[in-house]
A and B are shown apart, each in its own frame.
Chain A
């Protein structure tokens, strides 16, 4: 059996072209989200959480399919969690990679998305990622994993304050 190496498909990698101009996650819906962040009335979600209180925080790390990464980010923003960081990773899960024909792929390209949120928002973030990242209604092998762990401190560099 040959050992294959999966290359990142530049179209699938960002998926930007495929999700282009229309559709539920196109610029129109992003602009609707943008309004939510600029309209003070809609902005309460963010303001409420940064009103000077210190909260317990968690980091949610999700390994998702590359073609689902932008969907996850769009849904997180729509749910009121715009802050996130994304990078490319390669990995395998319980299925030990995939076999396509007679080629065995040991490492499969995925995208890691992580965000730090207040403890009370953990469930909302996890559910948002779960619903956006599953490739079929019942889920499929390779849809990824979510890991959650505690964050002791968080600092905003611009203000030097210990808050999100």
Chain B
């Protein structure tokens, strides 16, 4: 079995749920998270101003902006999806998430695939692939 962890934009939850259901993966867990990617300082992008001035230093507007908004803005609100699938379904599930979320812009998110050794269904006590 494989666990697929997808970190996606807040507004794409409904679309992703629908896409996964259509692909045959109705069961999922979703939660609110804060995160950041390779582009660390979001307020730099949010300001829409040049990051470095002509001297190669950070422009003064950014310094005041950063002092104003504080550190919380370095983390963006995201939604974290977790679904467990059989090995052979992993690619289909990943493709479904990619199709629903890929806009080509930074901030679309990440998908991580992790191998799971054991799954137990609490109601039926079934173990392994049948419990997925």
Given A30-B71, A30-B74, A73-B74, do A84 and B35 touch, yes or no (CB 8 Å)? yes
Interface status of A156 (Cβ within 8 A of chain B): yes
Query: Counting CB contacts under 8 A, is A119 at the interface?
Result: no
B-side contacts of A46, CB under 8 Å: 38
CA distance A21 to B65 in the complex (A): 11
In the complex, whether B40 has a CB less than 8 A from a CB of chain A is yes
A49 closest partner in B (C-beta):
B38
Q: Are B110 and A155 in contact (CB under 8 A)?
A: yes
A contact face: mostly helix, strand, loop, or mixed: mixed
Shortest C-beta distance, A2 to chain B (Å), equals: 30
How many residues in A have their beta carbons less than 8 Å from beta carbons of B?
A: 44
Any chain A CB within 8 A of the CB of B125?
A: no
Docked CA distance A17–B103 (Å): 35
Q: Are B70 and A158 neighbours in the complex by a CB distance under 8 Å?
A: no
Determine whether the beta carbon of B98 is less than 8 Å from that of A155.
Answer: yes
Q: Tell me if A158 and B104 are in contact (CB < 8 A).
A: yes
**Given A34-B41, A82-B38, A151-B113, CB of A157 within 8 Å of CB of B8:** yes
Interface SS of B by simple majority: mixed
Question: B122 contacts the other chain (Cβ, under 8 Å)?
Answer: no
Taking the nearest CB of chain B, how far is it from the CB of A66, in angstroms?
13
B37 (CB) vs chain A CBs: closest residue: A83
Q: Are A33 and B110 in contact (CB under 8 A)?
A: no
Chain A CB within 10 Å — which of B32, B52, B71, B106 has the most?
B71
- Among A37, A150, A158, the one with the most B-chain Cβ atoms within 10 Å of its Cβ is A158
The 12 listed contacts between A and B (C-beta, < 8 Å) are: A30-B66, A37-B40, A73-B74, A83-B110, A86-B33, A87-B80, A151-B112, A151-B114, A154-B110, A155-B94, A158-B104, A160-B102
- The 6 lowest CB-CB distance pairs between A and B, nearest first, are A85-B35, A34-B41, A82-B40, A158-B108, A157-B108, A153-B113
